[in-house]
Amino acid sequence: MSEKKLGYNIRIKGEHVSYEVYKEYLEIAKRADAAGIYYLSFPEFFARLDRNRLHVIPYMTAIAAQTEHVKFSNDVLVVPLFHPIHLADMGASLDIMTNGRFILGVGLGSSQAEYENFGVSWAWKKRGRMLDESIDIIKKLWTQPLVSEYKGEFYTIKNICSPPPVQKPHPPIWVGGLSDAALRRTAQRGNEWAASVFWAAGQAGGNIPEEKWDVKERIGKLKEYCKEFNRELVFGRPPRNPKEVAFNQRINVNIGPSKEKALEEARHYWVDVRKGRVEGGVSIESKLRYAAIGSAEEVIEKLNEVYKTGTYLITIYPMGTDSKTQWDRIEKEVLPSL
């Protein structure tokens, strides 16, 4: 029997950021934990024209310390902008501090400005190789008492170790992206594919036709890569051992008293407040194409369609500035039906 788990994006989405706003989101996270939400998502963006955000690592740490059961992840970190030793230490520390609730989300991002401001090459294949090498190093640091020597294309390390994570063999690694390279990376190095099916064609650095972003086609491709690396793609549940690979999906949601009101709130959020300043300037039309917008009944119907693809986890990204009201509606009107 397929599992139906729900995640929630806890990124601050208001029109300003302050201690009071942080406290509001902390309360949402605590309520989500008490309500049995499986997973909290903490996206990160650098070098964007948007001051209304908090850095993912301290924000994620503070909220993780105030919850007891929910799993959580940076969804996803642009790994080539970090040194892998930093990420290994950060991830292991969070896993210990939360008794095994941390998930490492990895990806390449979609903003050339981020790479330029960090002085890192934007060249797609090069940053892809950097990501692969970083994953390999992080795994070594998480599973070996001491890495005596590692010499790769981008990183050379000697006689170094990280704290031992709680989860064995290591915290799960979720790979973001929709390209063939991202799917291959998931099959070869990851534990789950974190599918952003609401992204527009052309994201993640590839000139891939629109139809190639269809989630069913992408799942089929992931299955092929899993066979290549002697792994099994599982449906309707998380992986149970290192040989298995699963996938989860994210979806934009706005629940309103009517579809018209929900659309109005979603448009205000993306066009007036966010101004398309994340995800490479994706248009409101592209955002709405893969969104669940409308009454609670309409949103539940859409979520059930997504579950039918074989995902076990859907992470809701509230598409509106009034996150408290969105959470109230999800808690009272959506959760009881799943």
To 10 degrees, the CA torsion angle through 213, 108, 9, 16? -120
Helices and strands, number each (H, E), in the chain: 11, 12
The full set of domains in the chain, from first to last, is 5-337 (3.20.20.30)
Render pLDDT for 241-300 as a digit per residue (tens, 0 to 9): 999 999 999 999 999 999 999 999 999 988 888 766 655 567 788 788 889 999 999 999
Sign of the torsion angle spanned by Cα atoms 287, 290, 294, 296: negative
What is the pTM for the complete model shown?
Answer: 0.93
The tokens describing 316, both together, are: 């809701």
Render pLDDT for 40-85 as a digit per residue (tens, 0 to 9): 999 877 756 678 888 999 999 999 999 999 999 998 899 999 999 9
